[in-house]
Amino acid sequence: MAKAMRRAVTDEDKEQRRVEILAAAKRVFARKGFQATTIADVAKAAKVSYGSIYWYFDSKEALFHALMETEGDALRAHIEQAVLGSGAAVDLESALRAAVRATFEFFEADKALVRLLFRDSYALGGRFEKHLFGIYEGFIGDLELLIRQGQKAGVIVKAPPRMVAFSVAALVGQIAHRRLVTDDGLKAGVVADFIVDLVMDGLRPR
């Protein structure tokens, strides 16, 4: 039991270290980009030795994947919680709005993540496409579910639900990314609402 406890502590320590490295990697990757970041950079930022990175991650690429995995999970959990916390069950639009708002909030609070997702991810080319695709698809899948429910309830017109979902995801992602560079002077909430309004009502005056 003593051994078990000691092991538990050790495991925690190890996890702790892993998390620290991930955090450091996130900072560096976001600032310099995946390609320009060296393992030495990450090591220095994490205040561990050069080779220690390799004790926790198999390669630079694996480190990036692990990072995206973690971040993707956090994002999705945040969104899910937001959707559940709203009157989502009864009202499709509220759910959609909650999801989009939550995403924007998350991105707003974590610009590094936006950079990682929408710029650096491409640096890995096809090797990451599948993974990024996975993260995206998770998000899109959730949206699709909402869309389908809306269609069933008659509050959403007939339209290919997956494509609609992807469109929303694309808008959210691209606008968030754009806001890294261009200041549109708008609050995140306003932008989120803009997207939902556009998607729900379109541009044609009613």
- Could you tell me which residues come within 8 angstroms of residue 4 by beta carbon, excluding any fewer than 6 positions away? none
Local structure of 183: helix, strand or coil: coil
DSSP string, 53-96: HHHH-SSHHHHHHHHHHHHHHHHHHHHHHHHHHTTTTT-HHHHH
Among 25, 26, 37, 164, binds DNA (CB under 7 A): 37
Q: How far is the CB of 130 from DNA (least distance, A)?
A: 18
Closer to DNA by Cβ: residue 61 or 105:
61
Tokens describing residue 64: 């990036």
Draw the binding track, 107-146, toward DNA (x: CB under 7 A; -: no contact): ----------------------------------------
Closer to a copy of itself by Cβ: residue 72 or 161:
161
Q: Give me the residues that bind a copy of itself (CB under 8 A), please.
A: 32-33, 35-36, 118-120, 122-123, 125-126, 129, 133, 147, 150, 154-157, 159-160, 162-164, 166-167, 170-171, 173-175, 178, 181, 184, 186, 191, 194-195, 197-206
Contact between 27 and DNA by CB under 7 A: the answer reads: no
Closer to a copy of itself by Cβ: residue 109 or 170:
170
100 and 195 Cβ atoms separated by less than 8 Å: yes
Closer to DNA by Cβ: residue 1 or 181:
1
**What is the rounded CA–CA span in Å between residue 29 and residue 100?**
26
Place of tokens 């949206």: 143
81 and 88 Cβ atoms separated by less than 8 Å: no
Place of tokens 């030795």: 49
Q: How far is the CB of 74 from a copy of itself (least distance, A)?
A: 22
**What is the rounded CA–CA span in Å between residue 3 and residue 81?**
38
Q: What part of residues 52-91 is at the interface with DNA (CB under 7 A)?
A: 52, 54-56, 58-61
